[in-house]
Amino acid sequence: MTTSTTARVLALLEILQGGGIRTVPELAARLGVDERTVRRYAGHLLDLDIPVDAVRGRYGGYRLAPGYRMPPLMLTDEEALAVLLGLLAGQRGGPGAVSAAAGESAAAKVRRVLPVALRRRLEALLETADFTDRPRTTGAPPEAAVLLELAEAVRRRRPVAFAYTDREGSGSARTVLPYGLVAHSGRWYLTGAGRDGGGEMRIFRLDRISSVRVLSGSFEVPDGFDPAATVLDHLARAPWKHDVSLRVRSSVEHLRERLPAGIAAVSGAESDDGSGAGSGWVRVRIRAERLDWIPPVLAALDRPFVIERPAALRDLVRALARRLGSYADTDAATDEQPS
């Protein structure tokens, strides 16, 4: 086969991998050839042991049949990114976890057949990205080009400029030193500082970033900087409808195991005598849009606590205590229902 013929045969394979039956006229139009040539290309795929079914009838055409081995895959940039990130999540114990050896082997096979430029950008992302926990929400996905461009800038320590839309819908131009990328709870975040390296650390949601440009120059990431911890701390301190302040008689470790890291900021323990030594009261700050989920969480801590604010949370805790008491007092042998 000539180079142009090979390219069209592979294009036919890519179309068929989309699933379903593709009619001969449709395939001819998409490949820019006549129907007789489409049939010849299907024959070439069969010669390569790729199982192509010919479906007869008015709505017939071609489709891929299940074969005894996996056919070559034609992946777009976004599809290759999805495959490699899925393998990485599996290696780290996410849903559908796989063994480290199987995941690394599969990822290596995918990387080997990628174009050099795309492979370099994907490797930059895999080297620089941090992952917190499995997604609990389905966030808007970032553009693959944005994610890969920022990953390469993080690895090369190059400043970036981009357009950003904030939560109120206002757009602005930003210039940032990109320190790290973090996947948290179904969203991707970029963390970094202003181009001068000073000022407050910032995080940006990638689905709100567009028009990324890598700039000249370089920078150094501060010693000990942890992108994932920075994102979690920022999310915990972000403005929400309710600012909850608590003191809990417990250890920091106990609370961090039970409170969502993305919304609760846990400070160090305070001793009873104010010296700062020993295990005493730990301060907890929670930002929330709703308060109704907090009383059950506090009950599950099974530790003494003091609600500093808001007063409405005290009322919700008292109401939960009354409900639990009424449930406990209900006679199981009767049909009496608690109020």
Segment 25-51, tens digit of pLDDT: 999 999 999 999 999 999 999 888 888
pLDDT digits (tens, 9 = 90+) for 150-159: 999 999 999 9
Query: Which residues of the chain have a pLDDT value below 70?
Result: 1-3, 66-73, 88-103, 133-140, 196-199, 236, 238-239, 261-262, 268-279, 332-339
Can you read off the two tokens belonging to residue 140?
Answer: 């808007």
pTM of the model: 0.52
Looking at residue 144, what is its pLDDT? Answer: 80
Looking at residue 215, what is its pLDDT? Answer: 94
Can you read off the two tokens belonging to residue 198?
Answer: 């000073």
Looking at residue 27, what is its pLDDT? Answer: 94
**Beta strands at 129-131 and 171-184: parallel, antiparallel or unpaired:** parallel
Reported residue count of the chain is 339
Contact present, 179 and 219 (Cβ < 8 Å): no
- In the beta sheet, which residues pair with residue 164? 172, 209
Residue of 172, 155, 263 whose CA lies nearest to 214: 155
3-state secondary structure of 287: strand
Helix (H), strand (E) at residue 85:
helix 77-91
Residue of 202, 190, 200, 197 whose CA lies nearest to 222: 197
Looking at residue 275, what is its pLDDT? Answer: 42
**Beta strands at 202-205 and 171-184: parallel, antiparallel or unpaired:** unpaired
* Distant-in-sequence, close-in-space partners of 50: CB < 8 Å, separation ≥ 6: 13, 64, 67, 71, 72
Between the CA of residue 165 and those of 137, 171, 185, 210, what are the distances in Å? 21, 4, 20, 9
Looking at residue 307, what is its pLDDT? Answer: 95
Place of tokens 């990328």: 181
